Amino acid sequence: MKIKVINPNTTWSMTRTIGEAARAVASADVEILAVSPEHGPASIEGHYDEAMACIGLLDEIRKGEQEGCDAYVIACFGDPGLDAARELARGPVIGVAEAAMRNACYLATGFSVVTTLQRTVIIAEHLVHKYGVSSHCRKVRASELAVLELEDPQSNAYKTIWDECRRALDEDGSGAIVLGCAGMADLCNRLQQALGVPVIDGVAAATIMAEGLVRASLQTSKRGDYAFPLPKTYAGMLSAMQP
């Protein structure tokens, strides 16, 4: 089984971390292809970054269909391009936010999301509504760490995120923490040990879901709005992306 894990930002050090997190939970017979698009933003921290990242991300899905990928993980907490990716792919496409939030619901009646910058909070809140988990999500919290600070050993990212998780447990009454950025994957085990509650990294959660769905011979429905995109002309710089 081949699962393509796409970090839609172009920071390859983060892609490596994400690939390791996926491999740590995947079965031995699962090949994890961890990639970043060739074009796009170094980090995704807003609506514009997300929209721009979707082009490269969808190109990776398009190539993945030719490479024989069985499933995909979109490894950015805004789940950018998730519905569009499901149109292109035959196999399951799992976003890390959706997988992490749904997994949190199995483990606690209330969870808090701890994410990066305040401006990304609204993106996660919109997803909470979209995925129908409002009754479980007690709060989405910003740590005010920029995504690329997670890659910077000088930033003391672990301590900043730990502090915000602690506040979430004390002030929100949450029983679990959802990490609100794929680049936090390598902090998950240490945080869980230190906090003594389930800490859910979406990369691991989405990889497990993707593998499970493929094992169950389940694919994306091609009846309705996830049907393959209609063939038509795409003009100008997007002509290569034409379905």
Stretch that binds ligand 2AL, among 133-141, 165-173, 179-187, 227-235 (CB under 6 A): 179-187
Stretch that binds ligand 2AL, among 37-45, 192-200, 213-221, 224-232 (CB under 6 A): 37-45
**Shortest Cβ 224–ligand 2AL spacing (Å):** 28
- Interacting positions 183-202 with ligand 2AL (CB under 6 A): 183
**Shortest Cβ 121–ligand 2AL spacing (Å):** 8
35 secondary structure, DSSP code: E
**Shortest Cβ 9–ligand 2AL spacing (Å):** 4
Binding mask 130-169 toward ligand 2AL (x if CB under 6 A, else -) reads -----------------x----------------------
Q: Rounded to 5 degrees, what are φ and ψ at 170?
A: -75, -45
- Take residue 173 and report the two structure tokens written for it: 């009454």
Name residues whose C-beta falls within 8 Å of residue 124's C-beta, 6 or more positions apart in sequence: 77, 78, 97, 113, 115, 140, 180
Among 15, 17, 43, 112, binds ligand 2AL (CB under 6 A): 43
Among 182, 188, 200, 210, binds ligand 2AL (CB under 6 A): 182
Among 9, 103, 207, 220, binds ligand 2AL (CB under 6 A): 9
Q: Which of 225, 236, 203 is nearest to 88 (CA)?
A: 225
77 is a contact residue toward ligand 2AL (CB under 6 A): yes
80 is a contact residue toward ligand 2AL (CB under 6 A): no
How many binding residues for ligand 2AL (CB under 6 A)?
15
Q: What number of CA atoms fall less than 13 Å from residue 68's CA on the CB side?
A: 3
